[in-house]
Every structure is written in structure tokens, then in C-alpha cells.
Structure 1
Amino acid sequence: METTPSTKISYIFLCSLVLIFSMPWSTRAQIHDRFLQCLHSRNNDSISQVIYTPTNSSYNSVLQSSIQNIRFISPMERKPLVIVTPLNDFHVQSAVICAKSNGFQIRVRSGGHDYEGLSSISYYHQPFVIVDMRNLSGISIDTESKTAWIGVGVRLGELYHAIAEKSPNLGFPAGTCPTVGAGGHISGGGEGTLTRKYGLAADNVIDAKIVNADGAILDRKSMGEDLFWAIRGGGGASFGVILEYRLQLVSVPSIVTVFTVNRNLEQNATKLVHRWQQIGYQLDRDLFIRLLITQARSGQGGNLTVQVGFQSLYLGTVAKLLPLMQESFPELGLRREDCTELSWIESALYFAGLPTGSTVNDLVRSTPYPKNYYKNKSDYVVEPISEVALEGLWKRLFEEGAEAGMLILSPSGGRMFEISDSETPYPHRAGNIYQIQHISSWTEENNANSQRYIDWVRRVYKYVTPFVTKSPRAAYLNYRDLDLGANREGNTSFAQASIWGMKYFKNNFYRLAHVKQEVDPSNFFRYEQSVPPFSSS
């Protein structure tokens, strides 16, 4: 039988179950007790209120509250022996020191949106603790310097709301989902509607605080430029526990314009998508147009078709947008009535996809919409896909499982083409005209249905192989995908980890591994897709 990354992960998990349940209960209890004793000895009683063990009545609710992909809420998943929800930096420092001294792994959780659940679960047999950063959610904004210090437990919606309360003309270039935690999002890059104008979230970080593998709390000056480079796109959890980021805020106009124009196959969608590929990345950098592609019912007879939503943010008024669109993309036929003028914070609400009637205050809610099961993958494209190949792709949207599917095509260009591939660990810059996010999202609990939807997204991913980047086939770290490969139990070699690492980071993976060797040579901060020390074998 052919061994795939998924079967390897399953094998690791099964072995883990055997090892865990073969460990004497007294041994597990001793490890657990020593860890708790260590925490209490460093904090007196102040930490008791933020420790959750399986004997606590709140344990399951705290564990599950931040797991956004409910594929990983299952009795079969390994659970942490302890969850710590720190109230301050010293609590985090203590958790790191006590975990390391007692043989615990650490899983760091900000918003819990890791696509493969790795901030909440582990496929390894070693006992682990979740350090859930939800309480480290302070926001301090200085409008004069246009900067903000934020705790990594801040969610993007909270960040946007806090900025808008201080100034309607300041914003931050990050993602569209308001419940995503800033910590993981920024440390993996952070793409959004302002990316073409200002780059990634990580490109706009000017300082940070982190707890390293020795338990020391470091800022940019004391951590050094190599580690500061690594945690701005290389995934912070490989290198330590990030506490705070200092952000450079960006200017936004008082009025922005949004629109979503839907076109199906009967309305020339194929030619419009082909044209968008040619011009989307070359548009004025104040104009962002992404595509949302789904299966739909046509208005003519209700037959199945493919619908493409052209969804846009323009940093300016309708009066300026319409002539720009007429010049750049007249084929779309944008009309004034398609457009809505908003404030920037209202545009964040628009892209969040919250229910009709929601207000900007709903951006600060931690659970604004129901959780789903999902499996996502990613690609980057350097040349337009032909109309013939697009028609082949549309056929996949009529297959079994496609009803749960969506493709999101997000343009690059603008500021992204001006930043070098090695400026941060995120390498997908000049030459990449757009990114594809392959999505399968469903609500049924039936395992057979789950596999049907997962199989569909993998088939689509396989179909587009000839049309996307090669050597390596690139992927986006924040769209975590264990199909790409995973580290084995213990210390994985750099060569073995390169199977997936080069896809996320290209040649920046070498520098990341050298930084890891310098700051965490014992590989304490490790997980299924963590960066290994360069010398590991």
C-alpha cells in the first residue's frame, strides 16, 4: 500500500495512543503533579485561577471553545494534561520553564484557527500542555506615531475595532476573519484586503516580545534580528511563545468602496476569470478584487452552475472607482448601484461575512458564526490558467462533494512585488500573480461524508497541479496542510522537514533552521510542522 502523509499521521496517532495508554496511570499522575507543583512554586496562588485539568468542570469548555475546526473535537483526539490561560507574561514564562523541566510539549493557542488543529491537539505520545493566550489581549494605540502594541490573544476584529475607535483614518493590513487570533496570524504572514497596498501583517511589525526556550523574555533588541526575522512569517511556535507585537498602523481614507458582483457560467464567468488573471495583480494598488468560486443554481431553470463572486475593496469613493474600473476591467460591467461606500471599519464588517443586521460592535465577539468541519489547501499561480483548463476546473465543481467547496483567488502585486522574497520568511512575492485557497467546509457529523468532502478538495488540488508553482509547489503557512508532510516523533532532520518546509518557505527554510539551531538547539518548541534545528539528523 502506498504511504501518504495522511497515513503517516494516522500511524503516529495510533502509536501515540498505544504509548499513552500503556504508560502506568501513576506515572502520568506524577508527571502531571510535578508540572502543577512547579507552576505553583513560581507563582504562589496567583496562577490557580488559570489552570485547567481534566478534573475541572470547565476543562472541556475551555479546550473546545477555541477549536475552530470541529474535525478536531473528538473523543479520539489526544487531550492536553493541562491548559494554562495566562494573565501575564510571568505566567507564560512559568509555563515554558515548568513544561521544559518536566518533559511536557507546549502547544500555543491564540485564536485556535490552525487549519489542522495543531494549536490544540498533538499526534505525538509526549504529554502536552496548551498555553492559551486568550487573556493576553491588551491593545495600546498611539495615534501620533501610528503604532500599536497588542497582546497575541487579541482577535483581528478586536484589533480593527480598537483602531477605528481611536481614528477613522488608521487601519492594519491583516485578514478578514474577525475571530482569528493575531498571534498565529501575524507570525505566519497575514494576508488580507490591504495586502496589495501595504504588504502582509508581518511586514508591518516593528517590535515584539517573546519567551524563548530558556524562559527568558526578550524584545527585538535582546532577541536579535535573526529571531525577529523568523517570527514575522516563519511561524512563532517553532521559536518560542510570542507575547506581544508592536505594529505599524497604516493610513486609510475616510470613505472606502466595496462591491460583490456575481457572474455564473451563463454570464460569461469563464472569460471574466481569465481576464481577471491578467489584470488583477496589475490594478491600482488601492483596488483589491478577489474571486469567490462556488457551485450554485442558475436563475434560468435552477440548473447547477458555477458562480464567481468578484468581491472588492477600493480605498476611495465610488466616483473615483467607476472610471478606474471602466479603464481597467470594463468587461465586468460594474455599475454604481453595485457599489457601497463605507468607512474602513465598516468594510471589515462587510468582508467578515457576518449575518445581515450585524454592526461593527459584532467584530469583537469571539464566536460570531457557527463552527464547521473543514479541510483547506493552498497554491500560488505565476501564469494565467487557460480558459480550457478553467472549464476543466469547473467540472470538478459539479462532482460529488463539491457542494461543500469553494475556491478563493486572491490577487498579489502592488506592495507585495516590491518586498524581496527574503525580507521575511514569507517568500511568495514578485512573480506570483495570485493565490488559490481550496476550501471544503461542511456541517454533517457523519465520517463518510467528511471523507467525501476531504477527497473532493484533494481532487481539485490534484487537478490544478500543472497550472501552479513547481519545484517546489508553494503553499501558505497560515493555511496549514498536513498532506504536504509532517515531522516524525522526536527530532526530524532538516532534510526530512524540507519536504513540507520548502513549500511554505522556499529557500528561507535554510535560514529558519539556522535560527532554530541558534535559539532552540534542543528542539523544545516542536510540533508536526515546526522548523527543526539545522543540525538535527
Structure 2
Amino acid sequence: MRAEQKPTPKMAFHSSLLLSQILLLFLVSSSSWTSATHPIQQTFFRCLSTNSRNSVPLSSYYTPGNVSSFTSVLNSTANNLRYLLPTVPKPVIIFTPLSEAHVQAAVICSRWLGLALRVRSGGHDYEAVSYVSQIECPFVVIDLAHLRAINVDIPRGTVWAQAGATTGEVYYRIAEKSKVHGFPMGLCTSLGIGGHITGGAYGSMMRKFGLGADNVVDVRMVDAKGRILNRKAMGEDLFWALRGGGGGNFGIILAWKLKLVDVPETVTVFTVTKTLEQGATNILYKWQKIAPELDDRLFIRVIIQASSTDLTANRTVTTSYNALFLGDPDTLLGITGKGFPELGLTRSDCVETSWIGSVLYIAGYPNTTAPEVLLQGKALFRNYFKAKSDFVRTPIPETGLMGLWKIYFEEEVPFMIWNPYGGAMARVPEWATPFPHRCGTLFKIQYVTAWQDGTKNAARHMSWIRKLYDYMAPYVSKNPREAYVNYRDLDLGMNKKGFNSLREASSWGLRYYKSNFHRLVQVKTKVDPDNFFRHEQSIPTHLRMKKGN
């Protein structure tokens, strides 16, 4: 399927309902398939082949019996190597659908056979709940990697993009058609947009245009009954829930319809690095106050690292101010000179480029990189890692920062990114979408520790990041201590029964969604009352809450 190809034509809601009812009737009449003479892998494939309107090629179907191809597909977009260890449970089947009808059949067959279902669109899932199950076996992985068609409609100012397309592919196809249009979502260009937008999708233009989820105008998804729904068919409650309510909760996203935003033909990017010896602590303290208040066109994030991985070396902390300005260098210098002179930004620091050039720059590609690299769709890095997140509402004092640096020096590869809010993020009510971290938030912190030696020192690295997280508690949001659902963190809680209870789900649900969690539960109860779509941190139904408590 070529990336410029249009998504599969829309099916009518009532036709989809009729199809699912016919399929379910057929399945009931064919229960003899489950006899012991047919292993589950064979039974599932026969079910798919019989119940899909499009033929299902064997090349889209992978089982552990063919170790090489199965492992290759499972590992293809799995960024966190912690979840590829031999001790981690593996799916009994990986299915890579080639059409929307294949996805419908996969849902219906999974339900009929009593198989848990995991859905992967990109693989950046930090705790791998989209392709690993720690609570239910057997399970099937539906990998949407082949559903990546993108249709850019400049006259209408929209893009239809299938769930398996990456952010980089979407950016490339937009820039291919226009130099003055873009879309505000992820900084990392290998994110699969199916799951990315379900968590909100922030990026370097969020202070000007908000989140990716704020700029979605329609969607196509398969629900728990195997029906294909668009915005009109599903209603506004479910459409609301999909745009920030997290992946794997309500159905399988097939495609998003995105509203393009206007960008200048020329933008400016820069990176300025300050060490502790160059006054990094004082500059970072000032950044916390002014970054959310600067011109909406300016996004300055801070990447914080240690200067060396050698714990015995004379180390320092580096703070790199990595920025996009939707305008020219002269205007930018006027803004920073007045609002953030401590940074010491000069004309020579500024790089003029196109919007697509800024995408490559912020993603960390060398300046000579051609935009076509965005079509590769592969992640730059794969590591064993653990990540956590926080939202900050009052500036962290310099004494707090100095204590932070002491803990930093205890780890080989400590890493943080601080992303500024304000601008459009402060103007959107926190109930407008399930993503609640809006007005009053100064910035978001992502904490990461990474290592390459497998399980050898994993416990030490995990202990370190938890120590860092505990240290930061007095300086971040409280009641609840907020977290970003796209940086999923199983330390916050995990349902251990397959069907999570209210008590279990609230431990992470209130952190990810705040009061929006309660509305998400209502939507879940309505659209998926049997809780078919579930995982370690999924949103429960009211009925399951009552049974679980």
C-alpha cells in the first residue's frame, strides 16, 4: 500500500452492524472448530479467512512455530528491550491486517475464541501493554504496521491518516503538498499515530496550536462488536474519549482525520547548552517562570543530561535549550532578548529552515538529512529503559535543583526533558478532552534511565529512577500527582485480575485523567460493557467495578 493512497472507503454504520451480526451467527453455528484437532493458531486463521470480506494471506499471520519471522515482527517496533526478554510472555499469534475488514474479523474471532487482544500501531508504548500481556494468556497482537495510508487534502485543510502511519510519514506527506501547512503532534518521528493521538500527542507547536488530539475532526475505529464507526456513528461522547483517553480502551483506531494548521514558509530553530559551571541552575530556574509566558510561537524545551557515563569521572550536568520558533531569527532575538536574556541567544545560534526541516532538527537528525528519512518509520534508539513523568505548577527552587543534581550523578545515563506549557495549552479547558494537564501547568517532566546490559544491573537502574521520582514529590503536582498516559508507568498501579476494579483503576486513572477519569468510565461502560478491550492499566466499566470491589 502506497503512503499517498486514500484510506479504505467508509462503510455505513448500519451495514457494519449487519455484517457483525451475520458473522457472529456464523461463528455460533461453527463451534466444532474448537475441537482438539485444531490448535488455536489454526483455528484463529480459519476464523479470519472465513469471516473477512477480504482474503487473508498467510504472509500477514505469524505464530511461534516459525520462530524467525515471528520474532522479527514482534521485535520490529518494540523500543523497550525490557519487554523482549525470554521470561516475558509472548503472544500466541501476531496478525498484521491489510484492510479494515481484516481488523473487524480479528475482533470478532478474538471474542469468539476467548482470546485477549493487544493492538500495536507504533510500538513506543513504554510499558509494552500494546504487545505484551502480564495478566492474561493466551493473547493475540494485532499489529497495524501495514495500515499506513495517508491522504492530504490541502484545499480542505485536512489529512486522513491510517493508524499504522508514523508521525514522520504524516509530516512528510503534508510537506510534499505544501510548504505552509503542518500538524502539531509528536517530536519523535517514528511514533505510530494510532496510539499517539489517543494519549493527547504533544509536540513543538503545542503552545501555538494545542495537542494533536485537539486538532482531530473525525475518526474511524472498530468497536467491540466488530463495527466500523466514524464520529457521526459513534456520537460525541466516544469521540471525546478517543482523543486523549489512552490506547487500548475503547476499540481499534483505523484512521484519524486531522485538521491542518498554517505554518510560516521559514521557521527558526536553535539549541543552546549550559553546564553547571556556566550558571545552568540559575538559568533553568528562570526558564521555569518565563517559558510558559513567552510568545505562543516559541517552544523551548530543556534536555538535561550528565556530561559523562563514567561515575568516577569529574562530571557535570548539561542543560540544552532546544527550540522551535514559528518566525524569523530577528523577531525571535527580540523576544528572547526581552523575556529570556539569561539564555544569551545570538544570531549565530539560530538556524533558518522550513517547517519540515524543523521536524528533522527537533527529532535529532543531522542538518544535512533529507526529509525522505521520515519514510523509514523506524525508531532511532532501542534500549532497556524505564521512564516516569510529572507536571509542575510552581517553579522548583534552586535548592531543589541542586539536590536534583546530586541524585543525577549517581546514575550512568540520567535523562530528563522539560516541556513548557502555556499558550494554547492554557486556553483549552481541562475537560475539553480527556487530557487534563492544561491551565496552571508550567511544564511537564519526562524522566528516563537507560542501559544496555540486559538484566545484569536492571534493579539498580530501576531503583535509581524511583529514588529520583520520590525526591521530586514536593516540587510537582499533588492530589493527584499527575502523570502523562503516553508515558505509561506501571509503578502507578496495575490491574492483576484481567478485569480491573474501581480501586485498582483509580490509582492510575486519576493521575492520567484527573476528574475526566469518571466520564471515561461512563463512556467505557456504554460502548464496551463486557470490557473486551483491556490491559494492565485500562479503563474499567461500572459493572466490572461492582464485581471487582
TM-score by length of 2: 0.90
1:535 alignment partner, SS class: helix
Task: Give the superposition deviation at 1:356.
Answer: 6.2
- Looking at structure 2, the residues matched to 119 and 184 of structure 1 have their Cα atoms a distance apart, in angstroms, of 9
Q: Aligned partners of 2:470, 2:525: CA distance in 1, in Å?
A: 35
Query: Gapped runs of 5+ residues in structure 2?
Result: 1-34
Q: Is 1:440–2:449 an aligned residue pair?
A: yes
Question: Distance in 2 between the 1:388 and 1:236 partners?
Answer: 38
Query: 1:336 maps to what in 2?
Result: 347
Aligned residue in 2 for 1:517: 525
**Residue correspondences, number:** 507
- Mapped partners of 2:441, 2:56: distance in 1: 50
Aligned residue for 2:65?
55
Go from structure 1 to structure 2 and tell me whether the alpha carbon gap of 1:253 and 1:126 turns closer, same or farther (over 3 Å shift): same
Please identify, of 46-55 and 284-293, the stretch whose mean Cα deviation from structure 2 is larger: 46-55
Q: What code does the residue aligned with 1:426 have?
A: F
Percent of pairs with identical residues: 48
Question: Deviation at 1:126?
Answer: 2.7
Structure-2 residue corresponding to 1:46: 56
Partner-residue secondary structure (3-state), 1:238: coil
Relative distance call for 1:465 and 1:520 in structure 2 (3 A) is: same
What residue is the counterpart of 1:471 in the other structure?
Answer: 479
Give the drift of 1:506.
0.4
The amino acid of 2:60's aligned partner reads: V
* Cα deviation code 1:27-63 (max 9, x no counterpart): 6964333222211212374343311111234111111
1:201-246 Cα shifts (integer Å, max 9, x gaps)? 1000000011000001000000111110110000141000010100
Q: Is residue 256 of structure 1 aligned with residue 267 of structure 2? A: yes
- Is 1:404–1:453's contact at 8 Å kept on the other side of the alignment? no
Alpha-carbon distance change, 390 to 62 in structure 1, aligned in 2, over 3 angstroms? same
Q: Counterpart of 2:17?
A: none
Amino acid at match of 2:337: Q
Name which of 444, 458, 464 aligns with 2:466.
458
1:103-149 Cα deviation digits (max 9, x unpaired): 01111001111000111110123311111001110000110121000
Extract structure 1 runs of 4+ deviating beyond 4 A. Answer: 26-29
Instruction: Tell me the equivalent position of 2:492.
Output: 484
User: Aligned-pair distance for 1:297?
Assistant: 5.5
Larger mean CA deviation between 224-233 and 31-40 belongs to 31-40
Aligned Cα root-mean-square deviation (Å):
1.7
Q: Secondary structure at the match of 2:486?
A: coil
* Matching of residue 425 in structure 1 with residue 430 in structure 2: no
Of 188, 198, 207, the residue aligned with 2:199 is 188
C-alpha distance after superposition, 1:144-199 (max 9, x if no partner): 12100000000011111110000011111011111110011001100110110000
**Residues 52-451 of structure 1: matches in 2 within 5 Å?**
52-56=62-66, 57-296=68-307, 303-355=314-366, 357-367=368-378, 369-399=380-410, 402-445=411-454, 447-451=455-459
Q: CA deviation at 1:360?
A: 1.4
Q: Which amino acid aligns with 2:65?
A: T
Please report how far the alpha carbon of residue 327 of structure 1 lies from its aligned counterpart in structure 2 after TM superposition. 0.7
Q: Distance in 2 between matches of 1:265 and 1:96?
A: 54
CA distance in 1, matches of 2:462, 2:524: 33
Q: Secondary structure of 1:49's match? A: helix
Q: Name the CA distance, whole Å, in 2 between partners of 1:122 and 1:495.
A: 21
Structure 2 CA distance for partners of 1:320 and 1:100, relative to 1, 3 Å: same
| 3-state SS, counterpart of residue 478 of structure 1 | helix
Tell me the equivalent position of 2:28.
Answer: none
Query: In structure 1, the residue corresponding to 2:400 is in which secondary structure?
Result: helix
Using the size of structure 1 for normalisation, the TM-score is 0.92
Residue identity matched to 2:492: L
8 Å contact from structure 1 (residues 85, 135) kept in 2? yes
Distance in 2 (alpha carbons) for counterparts of 1:94 and 1:195: 37
- 2:30: which partner in 1? none
Cα deviation 1:477-515 (Å, max 9, x = unaligned): 000000000112232122321011100000100000000
Structure 1 gap segments, 5+ residues each: 1-25
